[in-house]
Amino acid sequence: MFDNLSTKLDKAFKTLKGQGSITEINVAATVKEIRRALVDADVNYKVAKEVTDKIKEEAMGRDVLVAVSPGQLMTKIVYDELTQLMGGEKQDIQVKGDPAVILLSGLQGSGKTTFAGKLAAHLKKQGRQVLLVACDVYRPAAIDQLKVLAEQVGVDVYSEPENKNPVDISRNAVEFARKNNKKVVIIDTAGRLAVDEQMMAEIEQVKRAVNPSETLFVVDSMTGQDAVNTAKTFNDRLNFDGVVLTKLDGDSRGGAALSIRAVVEKPIKFISTGEKMEALDLFYPDRMAQRILG
């Protein structure tokens, strides 16, 4: 994960190795390399500039302690800034209401249905009664896919294969949950290959109809800046609560993970790192920064 970025940052810190102190000249050179590493990792340019300006300011404002080398000091400053860039504190999802409703949005192929299964397993482990709802009325195969995953993790699925109205299906699912003692309803909505008006209008209506305590936007991290732009478009319409970054196991760059929070101003809440149901993690900005720095 993010191997290229880790290697390049390491190289940038090495430019400070052997230097006795932090000076404007050696900091400027290091910061320039860090910025290039971030941009190469597909971090939004404005974000890369802002964060490296902060790193520079921090570095110039610090006295190097006797026990700390300039390289170590810079590593610590970059760690702090990357942690802040990705949101600082871990952010939990809100599971509230009777039943609590969690709405999933995102493009087709982003890993939404897979994540629905993982989230169901995660919440079930916390002792909650979960109901998965298949709301993709365009792809009958999506219902079957959700059923297979649900069986794997041992939760029920609500679907209405003959009904082509996702708003009705969602409302009925919530009603069904209430009657059948299900405490959390996870709604997997239809995605498209690209953003389109009908999909947006539809998910907006579903959101209004079921009033979720958490609306998540699921996105493939490997798509880098496209992921960030798509997140922004969805957020403008949906005002979602958090991001799920998928396929991090295949992402060698890291641009989406590093810029989505700053550009969209919504936290990443989960990361998905594989196709298996266990491959789900809560997102800790500090741990991610640590991983990037190796």
Residues near ligand GDP (CB under 6 A) are 106, 108-114, 191, 246-247, 249-250, 272-275, 279
| Residue 190 assigned to a binding site | yes
Name the minimum Å distance from CB 145 to ligand GDP: 6
Closest to ligand GDP by CB, 191 vs 224, is 191
Rounded to the nearest 10 degrees, how much is the dihedral formed by the CA atoms of 260, 246, 189, 239?
A: -20
Closest to ligand GDP by CB, 58 vs 249, is 249
**Closest Cα partner for 4 from 219, 285, 258?**
258
* Residue 175: CA count within 13 A, CB half-sphere: 8
Name the minimum Å distance from CB 277 to ligand GDP: 10
Closest to ligand GDP by CB, 37 vs 103, is 103
| Residue 128 assigned to a binding site | no
Name the minimum Å distance from CB 245 to ligand GDP: 9
**Closest Cα partner for 249 from 268, 219, 273, 282?**
273
| Residue 114 assigned to a binding site | no
| Residue 113 assigned to a binding site | yes
Name the minimum Å distance from CB 13 to ligand GDP: 30
| Residue 276 assigned to a binding site | no
Q: How many helices (H) and strands (E) does the chain have?
A: 11, 8
Instruction: Give the separation between CA 246 and CA 221, rounded to whole angstroms.
Output: 6
Name the minimum Å distance from CB 143 to ligand GDP: 11
Closest to ligand GDP by CB, 75 vs 272, is 272
User: 89 φ, ψ to 5°?
Assistant: -85, 150
Name the minimum Å distance from CB 208 to ligand GDP: 22
Q: ∠ at Cα 278 (276, 282), nearest 5°?
A: 125
| Residue 56 assigned to a binding site | no
| Residue 248 assigned to a binding site | yes
Residue 70, judged by CB atoms within 10 A of its CB (0-12, 13-18, 19+), counts as buried
| Residue 189 assigned to a binding site | yes
> Which residue in the block uniquely carries the two structure tokens 């871990």?
90
What is the amino acid identity at position 122? H
Closest to ligand GDP by CB, 1 vs 27, is 1
Closest to ligand GDP by CB, 97 vs 274, is 274
Q: Which two tokens stand for residue 150?
A: 């649900």
Alpha carbon distance, N-terminus to C-terminus of the chain = 11
Instruction: Give the separation between CA 180 and CA 148, rounded to whole angstroms.
Output: 21
Cβ atoms 30, 15 nearer than 8 A: yes
The binding site consists of: 106-113, 188-192, 246-249
The binding site for GTP consists of: 106-113, 188-192, 246-249
